[in-house]
A and B are shown apart, each in its own frame.
Chain A
């Protein structure tokens, strides 16, 4: 994306590597660290890291809407939850199969996303946010009260499927391979989403964020784009739900409560919206702080109070999130 003037050898020497090269090197370094991590970290922190990746994927899916299309959604808990319950359904109804679970989870999340998108994309801004919130609560109530199907308050428990590749490969997940699987999916999702957001489609979404009226005036079917954006976002959120179910072997209605959506939005804002990787950083930052606080102040400490304050302070003074701050700091 940046140009390195080819006809000026001096500036090439000064600039060193191009922007893209730096980016990919950074990416590989981070990946390497994440791959090695479960082998060197104590069990607690390794599992912690895996969970951060899953929450990060959820937050990343939400970034499509918040960061790129300019729509704040509080409905991600529904997509996440339905991905989780969809996977649970597959694992309970049929002989446990990883790919079937993923399929069911994505189908569930996708259906929810289509439903929510159809209604809520008619409205803009604040109205959209409220509607998505209400819809996520609708799903919560259904899941919570339809005890026969969803296990109600207690949720569902099931066994983790094996990692299978057709008939070639069948192996149980252990902690480390589970982590690598999650990492592979999250990294793959990140790269896919990055590709999509930089494609013409992604550019239209960003243009909707900048000036919806103008985008519509130019001739783009804005509502259709929004629906696709919500569905895309919902699918990846559902994927995160599937991963969560597979990793933890249970599905619970708590995750469908809109608080999960709220947490997701917090990860986004803290990490930096519109960056895809920011939300993952935000998720990590949030969980880390929470863990730290419960270590220092004890389990009963209402960690959300100081975290809430930090959140608000960041909105006011650091609206670009941690990534934005890091970017500015690096550019100095």
Chain B
């Protein structure tokens, strides 16, 4: 009994509280990134290696717009639109010619694009990281702690975007087009759906979502050309753990993994905390290779 209380005294309760919130915030952003990836994979069977770079470029554009205008929302919208266009261009130039070929080729092609984008960013923006000024200042009290407002706002924005996207898929005309195309590409065409453009649109959507995540994440860290790498890796883990092609699964997996990592970084350094996600992946592969949280979608 005495030993038990001793253990509980050692646990830093306020740290755990803060990390829980941090974990959820990061988890929501990761969920947004992973959703874009899942969307593209689920509909087009394309593993978008360049997703992290789209995230990174979105962050850069966000920083530039924010520094120029001071308006965070504008930064979000501009980054989303510009990168969505870039995504569309990317799909038309490199993925359309590969339709019908071995899916291996699309992995390679998107990998090639990721190299190009990453090196472009390094060359154009330089190696020093940029900071994004925080969009909303001020803290609020959470239990007995201070927690910055903007982090909550970021998490809420992510949730809003994901939620909005879900509604779009379920109820709008284009959402039905996308779902029909996913289920039966041939019959979708026979019903008048311009499938090649639906694919381009989906890719652009996924790219836009990645860019939005980048802008949302930018106030939390410095923006540099290699930030995409870590995120794309984590996003892939999330997608596999959540069940490839399952939107709901990705969201749950993202929050789950981020929470675990946030807790782990109480005791180990952040660069070691990533091992947590790797362990989760290994366990998933061992025991439930179709995904821990897969929901039929």
Contacts and interface: CB of A to CB of B under 8 A. Distances in A.
B182 interface: no
Interface stretch (A9-17, A237-245, A302-310): A302-310
Q: Which of B47, B108, B122, B240 has the most CB of A within 10 A?
A: B108
A230 interface: no
A164 B233 CA distance: 43
A27 to B, nearest CB: 29
A265 B111 contact: yes
A12 B239 CA distance: 60
Interface stretch (B184-192, B214-222, B257-265, B282-290): B282-290
B241 to A, nearest CB: 11
A145 interface: yes
A276 interface: no
Nearest to B275: A141
B271 A123 contact: no
A326 interface: no
Given A145-B272, A302-B119, A302-B122, A129 B47 contact: yes
Given A133-B236, A134-B237, A127 B244 contact: yes
Contacts of B272: 141, 145
A149 to B, nearest CB: 14
A269 B115 CA distance: 15
B109 A315 contact: yes
A72 B274 contact: no
A66 to B, nearest CB: 8
Given A125-B104, A126-B107, 9 more contacts: A66-B104, A119-B286, A127-B244, A133-B233, A138-B275, A302-B119, A308-B113, A312-B112, A315-B112
B141 interface: no
A7 B241 CA distance: 64
A254 to B, nearest CB: 12
Interface residues of A, number: 37
Interface string B108-152: 110111011011101100000000000000000000000000000
Interface in B1-23: none
B157 to A, nearest CB: 28
B94 interface: yes
B contact residues, range: 35 or more
A52 B285 CA distance: 36
A311 interface: yes
B98 interface: yes
Contacts of A96: none
A190 interface: no
Contacts of B119: 302, 304-305, 308
Across the A-B interface, give the 6 residue pairs with the lowest CB-CB distance, nearest first.
A308-B116, A302-B123, A304-B119, A302-B119, A312-B112, A308-B115
Nearest to A115: B282
Q: Dominant SS at the A interface?
A: helix
A130 B237 CA distance: 8
A226 to B, nearest CB: 15
Contact of A305 (B103, B116, B271, B282): B116
A130 B113 CA distance: 17
B236 A315 contact: no
A316 B94 contact: yes
30 contacts: A66-B104, A119-B285, A119-B286, A120-B285, A122-B289, A126-B41, A126-B107, A129-B47, A130-B47, A130-B236, A144-B271, A145-B269, A145-B272, A262-B111, A262-B115, A302-B120, A304-B115, A304-B118, A305-B116, A307-B115, A308-B113, A308-B115, A309-B112, A311-B115, A312-B94, A312-B109, A312-B112, A315-B112, A316-B109, A319-B105
B166 interface: no
B253 to A, nearest CB: 14
Contacts of A133: 233, 236
Interface of A: 66, 70, 72, 119-120, 122-123, 125-127, 129-131, 133-134, 137-138, 141-142, 144-145, 262, 265-266, 269, 300, 302, 304-305, 307-309, 311-312, 315-316, 319
Contact of B240 (A127, A142, A145, A302): A127
A123 B116 contact: no
Contacts of B281: 131, 134
Nearest to A265: B108
A305 B119 CA distance: 6
Nearest to B93: A312
Contacts of B286: 119
Nearest to B101: A319
B73 interface: no
A316 B281 CA distance: 33
Contacts of B45: 126
B296 interface: no
A228 B215 CA distance: 45
A300 B119 CA distance: 11
B100 interface: no
Nearest to B285: A119
Contacts of B108: 72, 265, 269, 311, 315
A130 B240 contact: yes
Given A72-B104, A133-B233, A137-B233, A315 B116 contact: no
Given A131-B240, A262-B111, A316-B94, A125 B103 contact: yes
Nearest to B123: A302
B168 interface: no
